[in-house]
Amino acid sequence: MFQLIPAIDIINGQCVRLTQGDYAQKKVYSSDPLEVAKAFEGAGIQRLHVVDLDGAKAKKIVNAAVLERIAKGTNLHIDFGGGVQSDEMVDLAFSAGAAQITAGSIAVRNPELVKAWFAKYGADRIILGADAQHEQIAVAGWQENTEISIYDFLADYEKAGARYVISTDVAKDGLLQGPSFPLYEKIQTKTPSLHVIASGGVASLQDLEDLRAMKLFGVIVGKAFYEGRISLEELATFAKESAC
């Protein structure tokens, strides 16, 4: 079963999208993220990727109330990221209704803490956020590049029991130029036990079909939907087909 996972990115309680992680390139799509989430649920979609962009900047969760509204107002399986950098913030995300949290920069900067979360909360509830620039890990909302190979990074976590990874090719995100298929193919080959969720660059229904054909775990869809490249009806049909 291939998972279609729409994204809701939040700044000041509003549903927005950035281009390549640049807060200066922000576009507001809705003042009510719950209504957007309900539309996805009404289309038969079961999962949702929620990112607290204010939280990512503040290094602590800022929009917990928005997460809680979405969780209480829908039955969607929510994975939540942005500012989740301590046990306290993980507890806050889960208590607000997240089913999973995404550990991004913290997984690079403090791997022992994140590996401890596998034991404390269960590896199924922790998704690694592995964003890449030229196959090297990028952190801090992509404002900082490292010299860490994404494949070495994921192999280390795979040994520690990681189950899920969301990977974004920074060069592709928000540009509607297509996903980084070679990156996902390499990740699957080098770390075969990980459930890989593709993110960034999706521009068309064909992109979704091509990613599904790769037998990834799932795909995150953001700007392509919000900019009208893929309709809600098309997402509904795709989700139904993928569930078969």
Is residue 131 annotated as a catalytic residue, yes or no?
yes
DSSP notation for the chain: -PEEEEEEEEETTEEEEEETTEEEEEEEEES-HHHHHHHHHHTT--EEEEEEHHHHHHTS---HHHHHHHHHH---EEEEESS--SHHHHHHHHHTT-SEEEE-HHHHH-HHHHHHHHHHH-GGGEEEEEEEETTEEEETTTTEEEEEEHHHHHHHHHHTT--EEEEEETTTTTS-S---HHHHHHHHHHSTTSEEEEES---SHHHHHHHHHTT-SEEEE-HHHHTTSS-HHHHHHHHHHHT-
What sign does the CA torsion over 117, 46, 11, 176 have? positive
Coil, strand or helix: which one is 131?
strand
Write down the catalytic residue from 52, 54, 79, 131. 131
Q: Verify whether residue 22 is a known catalytic residue.
A: no
Catalytic residues: 9, 131
